Amino acid sequence: MRTIDQALRRQPNDALHGDLILDLLRRRHNDEEARRQFDIAVSWGRYGELFDYNADDDLLTLDDANR
């Protein structure tokens, strides 16, 4: 989650594609586990108002409360 938050803050538009995070997770986990870890991070990130995720666009963005 920290990696996602830091990466979002480095982006000029405070957004990035979820596939980038999944690729990072796949370096340490198989596809199924990487997807599970991603889903958990998105759920907690949303709950903690750190970031939002639009599954239709596969886009992570900083939550307004976290700017």
The pLDDT assigned to 20 comes to 95
Task: Kindly write down the DSSP assignment for every residue of 7-62, as one continuous string.
Answer: HHHHSTTSEEEHHHHHHHHHTTS-HHHHHHHHHHHHHHHHHTTSEEEETTTTEEEE
Residues 17-45: tens digit of each pLDDT: 999 999 999 999 999 999 999 999 999 99
Would you say residue 54 has pLDDT above 90? yes
- Global pTM reads 0.90
The confidence score (pLDDT) of residue 53 equals: 97
Q: Residue 54, CB half-sphere, CA atoms under 13 Å: how many?
A: 9
| pLDDT for residue 9 is more than 90 | yes
pLDDT higher than 90, residue 67: no
Are 63 and 8 in contact, with CB atoms under 8 Å apart?
no
